Amino acid sequence: MEPNRLFFALWPGEAVRNACHAAAKQLNIRLPSGGYLSAPERYHVTLLFLGDRVPKPQEDAALRAAALVRAAPFTLTLDQAGSFRNREIPWWLGARTTPPALGDFHGRLRDAMVQANVSLERMRFVPHLTIARNAKIALPPTPIEPIRWEIAEFALIRSRLDLKPVSYELLGRWPLLGAAGEPPAPAAPPQLTLF
């Protein structure tokens, strides 16, 4: 099967990208990572990872199901930097306190995929935006100047691993139009087609 790496994500606008990039550069000046800074055009917060070899019918089902997800827009404030302790030591920006609306939205999106029989990679949801990779040192929890991000949409993205450098292709974008507390929409019937 051909590679088809897909994930749902929060995709920032230019102002948030610029603020995150400025924070990344400042952190790297204060404590050089020894790795490389991520390109701002690749900044995102992964919501759900569908896998590295997603079949076309699963991709189509994910697109249909995403269109039915309802959630209210919310604010995510990135106010802390840190790193994960895996082999690549990625540095990230995140929120000291995850807004309940983000957890609710993540659950609605996950449930919509499950109802549509879209396979998901089981990963713990730790909302973060990667700013550096292959760091030589860990970044301890570090407060940053808060970056206010108004979340009004989400996207399905394909990682183009066949390109150098790796790039992202946006397959679909959906606005957050629901009201707070609104129940999730029912799953799409299998016979729906994408136009």
Provide, rounded to the nearest whole percent, the portion of the chain with pLDDT above 70.
89
**Residue 177 has what pLDDT?**
86
The CB-based long-range contact list for 180-187 (8 Å cut-off, 24+ gap) reads 180/72, 180/101, 182/70, 182/71, 182/72, 183/70, 184/68, 184/69, 184/70, 184/108, 184/111, 184/112, 185/68, 185/69, 185/70, 185/112, 186/68, 186/115, 187/65, 187/68, 187/112, 187/115, 187/116
Residue 193, pLDDT above cutoff 50: no
Average pLDDT, integer, range 138-166: 91
Task: Answer yes or no: are the C-beta atoms of 27 and 7 closer than 8 Å.
Answer: no
Instruction: Quickly tell me which residue has 């990679």 as its tokens.
Output: 121
Task: Answer yes or no: are the C-beta atoms of 152 and 176 closer than 8 Å.
Answer: yes
**Residue 181 has what pLDDT?**
54
Residue 90 is assigned to a structural domain of this protein = yes
**In which band, very low, low, confident or very high, does the pLDDT at 124 lie, cut at 50, 70 and 90?**
confident
Residue 149 is assigned to a structural domain of this protein = yes
Average pLDDT, integer, range 114-132: 93
Residue 186 is assigned to a structural domain of this protein = no
Residue 152, pLDDT above cutoff 60: yes
Provide, rounded to the nearest whole percent, the portion of the chain with pLDDT above 90.
79
User: Which is more confidently placed, 92 or 3?
Assistant: 92
**In which band, very low, low, confident or very high, does the pLDDT at 192 lie, cut at 50, 70 and 90?**
very low
How many Å apart are CA 3 and CA 14, to the nearest integer? 29
How many Å apart are CA 68 and CA 77, to the nearest integer? 26
User: Which is more confidently placed, 85 or 21?
Assistant: 21
Give the pLDDT confidence of 84-119 residue by residue, as tens digits: 988 788 999 999 999 999 999 999 999 999 999 999
Mean pLDDT of the chain: 89
Task: Kindly report the CATH number assigned to the domain that includes residue 17.
Answer: 3.90.1140.10
Coil vs helix vs strand at 63: helix
**Residue 180 has what pLDDT?**
55
**Residue 188 has what pLDDT?**
41
User: Which is more confidently placed, 85 or 125?
Assistant: 125
Residue 195 is assigned to a structural domain of this protein = no
* Cβ neighbours of 98 (radius 10 Å): 14
Domain, as residue range, for 115: 5-175
Residue 185 is assigned to a structural domain of this protein = no
**Residue 163 has what pLDDT?**
66
Residues 6+ positions from 111 with CB-CB distance below 8 Å: 184
Residue 184 is assigned to a structural domain of this protein = no
Residue 194 is assigned to a structural domain of this protein = no
Residue 47, pLDDT above cutoff 60: yes
Looking at the structure of the chain, the number of domains it has is: 1
Residue 183 is assigned to a structural domain of this protein = no
